[in-house]
Structure 1
């Protein structure tokens, strides 16, 4: 029996409608997104990606392969005329989403084989696109990578900042180390998980162009949902900057919204939360235990792109991943058949690559990947809704904007073990009292792995 589309619950209640578009790789918008309702007065809905691994536990090879595929589209925009994997890769994505064995690994392997070295500067947006942008940079081989961050560092002077108006937490910083990292030669690539209006991207391009002008920019996203007015605004920006701006995406399309969608969304959240308990579903399992696993992270390799990630770091990490996956495998409980590797807000790339290596090592184990988030979303236990359950816990990294709630979605899915991957800033007593205790309360064994910052 075919599973229902995970956007049907929302479209039937808020009168939203996905509109069709185009795809260079033969995919459709409903394949790549489900829908949920935000607990955020600025925006009613959340597009929940099926290939990002943020809110939905996903095969890490599908997540990484999709990022590499987007990187291939970027490479084609920078150096047109090369034959690429195209719809063959898209067919692998579709097969992996249907759960066909070997499809996710096949996608990743196909894109790895088609990797084309191109020098560029790639910038990803926090928190959702930090690993996506990193995968795009990986697909280009010789690219320098940096992602924006909401975590200021006293010793590092910000290169720039921008505002993401619809986001739940809006302050972003670029903190390159060394400071001249973004002065590297070559075109600049901006990566986000979705383009809704493109306003954030346009603001970023203006700010970065004012500091270091370039002749060519590429904007990349999994989904491009801009309307014609937004596309015109991007063309106007090209004239303003005197630079070429290409936009690439796995799928283009749109979301039709009724005029009262913000009020209707908040009313729906209030009504559902009155009707539904906030606690996870009872599963009858006794609480699990919690242990720590030393990763053996390679010295000198950054934990991600918060301050910059260079091609030589990529090479070192690739060599070290099999040994780190073996350490995780040795620590898993006997007989574990479903394992989740759970990243931590902006720290998405390191846990993704660890999950990918673990999935390759454990051929008979269902290894999934997702991360915690700041974004508050309504959970509804319905197969036609993308966010089935949520864990709520306090922030555990002493955030600059003060304490607050954090969330892990769809974790209550019968995992035998959850590997929680955090950086040193997130490894506090609050981690054990909050997130770890909530997960172990599901009857799941918890392994904690810390990546040095």
Structure 2
């Protein structure tokens, strides 16, 4: 399915999905020389607006990853930003990149503490904004590297007790509407730089839609991948009265040719008579919440000062949960926009731990070697029965234990549904973890 050719200037990659969809990529810039195969693969969307999906291997969404991956990628991108924005070479990325390339689930990384625990001070007062749902974990992992910044992420959750500050659309998405719910009405007015964070940039339209809603004239975009063509570059550069700087690991060009509709493999539906496996429940108290949503996620806005309390929360929860770790492979699951906290906790649960999260994104599943979404289970969102969620890439007979993290408590029926789902894949036990006022 995947063919690569390399010359002295460009790397060309062709993805052929069953002769139905062909994506041709030309990598024109690779800032840290990270092998592309470490960063992403491709899948076909169930979406008429865009036929393809870059399936990231480093953000904890569709594909299981070693949890510390998120922290390392966030630290690399934070250092690239400070280099490009302030022309600062005080924060090298070499050791971080080497660790990312050589990550192994059977050992725990200990030699990055000095790098990851050294905060970066920005010259300008900066707000970072993460895009829901895919990039919430990535964005917060970038933000946590700075000592004097603020962070908030967009949301698709239905929050009713406070008014949203603004709406904007992500035009190519399966769910186009985004909202921002800062806890302060003037939250956006006091920043010299506002930096948007997403996992990939294809046209930049979604970013521009948000920029047009925000005050200020100086903006940035941080992304792992940047596939904008000449027209998309011009669109951002020509926007009146604003300056936009884009920072990414990978830049390149893409072409997509679809010859016929993709036919998915069957959706996995565990039989109703699937036996339940042993389960436990852990409920942790939330220090601050709005409608049960944990403020530590950044959904309502946080500052660098809050990171100390958030880290203590992560350490406290992981210290409790590690007592429940059994031998064998362990899967930790986040839910929807709830990625950063569960992934950070998972990174402290020892070795042989993997992490990814549920998603709203409908993607064709195909059991092909280099394809990004090999199987698929569908279920109704625990937060909204009108929204279908998916979980991809659950191998049979691989995980012995599952930690299932949800921002709010699950109903008995929903826990039973997830219990049977993982029992179907021969997981031996499941632990449900949630937060409550």
Identify the TM-score tier after normalising by the shorter chain: 0.7 to 0.9
Find the counterpart in structure 2 of residue 384 from structure 1. Answer: 370
Q: What displacement does 1:139 show?
A: 1.4
Q: Aligned runs of 1:230-249 on 2, under 5 Å? A: 230-237=232-239, 240-241=240-241, 243-249=242-248
Deviation at 1:357, TM superposition (A): 2.0
Alignment of 1:309 with 2:302, yes or no, is yes
CA deviations on 1:154-184 (whole Å, 9 max, x unpaired) are 2211111111111111110011012222223
How far apart are residue 343 of structure 1 and its match? 0.5
Considering only aligned residues, what root-mean-square deviation do their CA atoms show, in Å? 2.7
Deviations 1:215-260 (A, max 9, x none): x2110001111112111111112xx02x3211001111232112xx
The answer (yes or no) to whether the contact 2:394–2:425 under 8 Å persists in 1 is no
C-alpha spacing 1:383/1:52, structure 2 compared with 1 (3 Å): same
Over residues 48-85 of structure 1, what are the superposed CA-to-partner deviations in whole Å (9 max), with x where a residue is unaligned?
01111101110111122101211222222332233332
Partner of 2:76: 69
Tell me what 2:119 maps to.
115
Structure-1-length-normalised TM-score: 0.85
Distance 1:255 1:442, change over 3 A: same
Give yes or no for contact 2:336–2:358 (8 Å, CA) kept in 1.
yes
1:355 aligns with 2:343: no
**Secondary structure of 2:305's partner?**
helix
- Report the alpha carbon displacement of residue 47 of structure 1 after superposing the two structures with TM: 0.6
Query: Separation in 1 of the partners of 2:187 and 2:296?
Result: 17
Against the structure 1 CA distance between its residues 93 and 55, is the aligned structure 2 distance closer, same or farther, given a 3 Å change threshold? same
Separation of aligned partners in 1, 2:118 and 2:228:
29
Q: Does 1:55 align with 2:59?
A: no
The answer as to 2:322 corresponding to 1:318 is: no
Is the 2:270–2:420 Cα contact (8 Å) retained in structure 1?
no
C-alpha distance in 2 between matches for 1:255 and 1:88: 30
Aligned residues of 1:18 and 1:29 also touching (Cα < 8 A): no
Alignment of 1:14-53 (within 5 A): 14-53=21-60
**1:148–1:306 contact (8 Å) kept in structure 2:** yes
Alignment partner, residue 341 of structure 1: 332
Question: Residue deviations 1:1-27, cap 9 Å, x none?
Answer: xx9999855385422112112122122
CA contact (8 A) 1:29 1:223 kept: no
Which shifted more, 428-437 or 64-73? 428-437
Correspondence for 1:278 among 267, 271, 279: 267
Q: Aligned ranges for residues 212-223 of structure 1 at < 5 Å?
A: 212-214=215-217, 216-223=218-225
Q: Does the 8 A contact of 1:144 with 1:311 survive in 2?
A: yes
User: Take 1:140 and 1:19, find their aligned partners in 2: how far apart are those partners?
Assistant: 33
Question: Per-residue CA shift, 1:77-129, capped at 9, x if unaligned?
Answer: 33223333234433332222xx48668665x5464155312241110110001
Look up the match of 2:434: 450
Change in CA separation of 1:181 and 1:126 when aligned onto 2, cut-off 3 Å: same
Q: Aligned to 1:139, what secondary structure does the other structure show?
A: coil
| Residue deviations 1:401-429 (CA, integer Å, cap 9, x gap) | x61321111133511111111112x6234
CA shift in 2, pair 1:430/1:218, >3 Å = farther
Identify the range of structure 1 (368-377 vs 21-30) with the bigger mean alpha-carbon deviation.
21-30
Map 1:283-294 to 2 at 5 A. 287-294=276-283
Q: What is the CA-CA distance between 1:296 and the residue it aligns to?
A: 5.2
Q: Once superposed, which parts of structure 1, at least 4 consecutive aligned residues long, lie more than 6 Å away? A: 3-7
Q: Deviations over 1:188-233 (max 9, x none)?
A: 110011001101111111111xxx223x211000111111211111
What SS does the aligned partner of 2:248 have? strand
SS at match of 1:51: coil
Unpaired runs of 5+ in structure 2?
5-12
Judging changes above 3 Å, is the alpha-carbon distance between structure 1 residues 302 and 436 closer, same or farther for their aligned structure 2 residues? Answer: farther
Q: Deviations over 1:302-343 (max 9, x none)?
A: 2401111222321012123223112112223xx432111110
Which moved further from structure 2: 174-183 or 28-37? 28-37
